[in-house]
Amino acid sequence: MTQILEPGSLSGRRALVTGSSRGVGADTVRAFAEAGADVVVNFRNKAPRAEKLATQLRELGVRAFVQGADLTDPASVAGMMDAIREEFGGLDILVLNASGGMEGGMAEDYALQLNRDAQLSVLDAALPLMAEGARVVFVTSHQAHFINTTPTMPEYEPVARSKRAGEDALRERIPALAERGIEFVVVSGDMIEGTVTATLLNRLNPGAIEERREQAGRLYNVAEFAAEVALAAVEPVPADNTRLVGDTSSFGG
């Protein structure tokens, strides 16, 4: 992964990326560390993978703190924030990256629990750690961001609607965040090559990735999209608080 942010540009800053032991989250947290930020590597399971990443990041000369948490459990989230306060003293960047809803064996309303309720829970728990000048980034997909105007694959619709519900609920917090001097931005990306979600969708709906790639001309890969998420944490916030990544010509709105 090439250098995205200026080396040293985030020195002294502290960043939490939820769901950062793999995929887009891992590449985002690496970009922050390469820019000099101290980082929290958050995971739901598979602690060894998170520890391995943190070890690599510490070699960059930053503090990398591993914190497991079930984001749908407020007590687990509170415990993570207490540990971050003790370790780092506060947070400057919060990236709400973790999402899901296509996993098997979960409760019927799990997508809504994770993609809406947990996002608000994490934000509320993190706010006491965040001061003026901090920033919150919410990561979503075009298929979710535009779900009210553009249908998506039936297999993905429950997830898309739950993520849009999360985005809407978070946007309602923008005025209160602004009063505290905290900025908020949504990063919406097209289908991302190499993600778990894209792989699952292609399994359920064979040819889905190829079809979308043909429509869009090209699809971003994990590293490319993570670079956009990292930049969203430092570049000026767009007037509509939205950073669109990839082709949107197929989406209404």
Query: Concatenated DSSP letters for the chain?
Result: ----SPTTTTTT-EEEETT-SSHHHHHHHHHHHHTT-EEEEEESS-HHHHHHHHHHHHTTTS-EEEEE--TT-HHHHHHHHHHHHHHHS-EEEEEE-------TT--TTHHHIIIIIHHHHHHHHHGGGEEEEEEEEEEEEHHHHTTTTS---TTTHHHHHHHHHHHHHHHTTHHHHHHTT-EEEEEEE---BT-HHHHHHHHHSTTHHHHHHHHHS---BHHHHHHHHHHHTTSPPPTTSEEEES--TTS--
| CA–CA gap between residue 111 and residue 107 (Å, rounded) | 8
Residue 173 scores a pLDDT above 80: yes
Angle at 76 between CA 73 and CA 81, to 5 degrees: 125
Residue 250 pLDDT class (50, 70, 90 cuts): confident
Closest CA to 94 of 55, 57, 133: 133
Report which of 121, 107, 22 is spatially closest to residue 71, judged by C-alpha positions.
Answer: 121
Of the pLDDT bands very low, low, confident and very high (cuts 50, 70, 90), residue 242 is very high
Specify the pLDDT at position 105. 67
Given this model, what pLDDT does residue 20 score? 96
Quick one: angle between helices 222-232 and 23-34, nearest 10? 50
Task: State pTM to two decimals.
Answer: 0.94
Q: Is the pLDDT of residue 102 over 80?
A: no
First CA to last CA distance, the chain: 33
Phi and psi for 102 in degrees, rounded to 5?
A: -100, 0
| Least confident segment among 12-26, 90-104, 116-130 | 90-104
Rounded CA-CA distance 213/51 in Å is 34
Confidence (pLDDT) at 214? 80
How many Å apart are CA 173 and CA 165, to the nearest integer? 13
* CA–CA distance, 75 with 163 (Å, rounded to integer): 22
Q: CB neighbours of 70 closer than 8 A, spacing ≥ 6?
A: 44, 76, 77
Asked if pLDDT for residue 253 goes beyond 60, the answer is no
